[in-house]
Amino acid sequence: MPRPVLRLGASLLLAVTLVALRADASSAHVVPSPSFVESGAVTVVELAGPNERAGPMTGFAIRAPEGIRIVDAEPTGTWRVVERTATQTVWVGGSLPPNEEVSFRVELEATAAPGPVALEAEQRYPEGEIVRWQVPLTVVPGSGTADQNLGAALVVGLVGLLVIALVVSIAWRRGVRAQGGADG
């Protein structure tokens, strides 16, 4: 199996392990899917969160840490995006009853080094109450970089071999002609 594939597999295994170790009860209330983002790429992440309060949830927000950029955010049902910057998105317009769940989709771009990061999620309620949750994510190495470098190295290697074969062929022919001319 090629090394880039093995490295990507090992990175994903490490990411899953890190997330499993970091996912304690206090951070499991807003759950990302997938729980990793690829460095240097845009990843669509769905954030699922239940309303665990007695009253309806009427707003939801996320804040991205350094090294994570919010590229886009989608409306969900009656929830609409009223604010979206590179570091924060706010949804309003919905009313999530107690013990129900809603999911919000965002596109995230990771520029952070591989390792754990966390979004901050806020569930907002009509009386002004805000419940904050840490949403653990893991940044994994970009998969395209190693494959692109390997492909470029193969092309350069093949061109190099063709040039060497051409030079050897020309030298051999000149040697044969030189010997034929000296004998005749």
- Which tokens sit at 26? 């206090």
- Which tokens sit at 29? 């209330």
**pLDDT for position 106:** 97
Q: Are 131 and 146 in a shared domain? A: no
Q: What confidence tens digit (pLDDT) does each residue in 137-153 have?
A: 999 998 755 555 455 45
Query: What phi and psi values does residue 61 have, to the nearest 5 degrees?
Result: -140, 150
Contacts 24+ apart (CB under 8 A), 13-18: 14/138, 14/140, 15/138, 15/140, 18/115, 18/116, 18/138
Q: Domain containing 73: what range?
A: 3-141
- What's the whole-number mean pLDDT along residues 13-34? 57
DSSP 99: T
- Which tokens sit at 77? 């049902």
Q: Are 135 and 154 in a shared domain? A: no
Q: What confidence tens digit (pLDDT) does each residue in 98-133 have?
A: 999 999 999 999 999 999 999 999 999 998 999 999
Q: Are 81 and 127 in a shared domain? A: yes
Q: State yes or no: pLDDT of 158 exceeds 90.
A: no
Per-residue DSSP letters for 32-90? EESSEEEBTSEEEEEEEEE--SSS-EEEEEEEPPTTEEEEEE--BTTBEEEEE-SSEEE
Residue 183 sits at the vertex; the CA angle it makes with 177 and 184, to the nearest 5 degrees, is 90
- Which tokens sit at 122? 């806020």
Q: State yes or no: pLDDT of 61 exceeds 60.
A: yes
**pLDDT for position 64:** 97
Per-residue DSSP letters for 124-155? E-TTS-EEEEEEEEEEE--HHHHHHHHHHHHH
- Within 10 A of 6 (CB to CB), how many other CB atoms are there? 10
The total number of structural domains in the chain stands at 2
Q: Are 90 and 181 in a shared domain? A: no
Q: What is the CATH number of the domain that holds 23?
A: 2.60.40.2230
Q: Are 180 and 122 in a shared domain? A: no
The SS3 call for residue 109 is strand
**pLDDT for position 143:** 77
Q: Are 119 and 157 in a shared domain? A: no
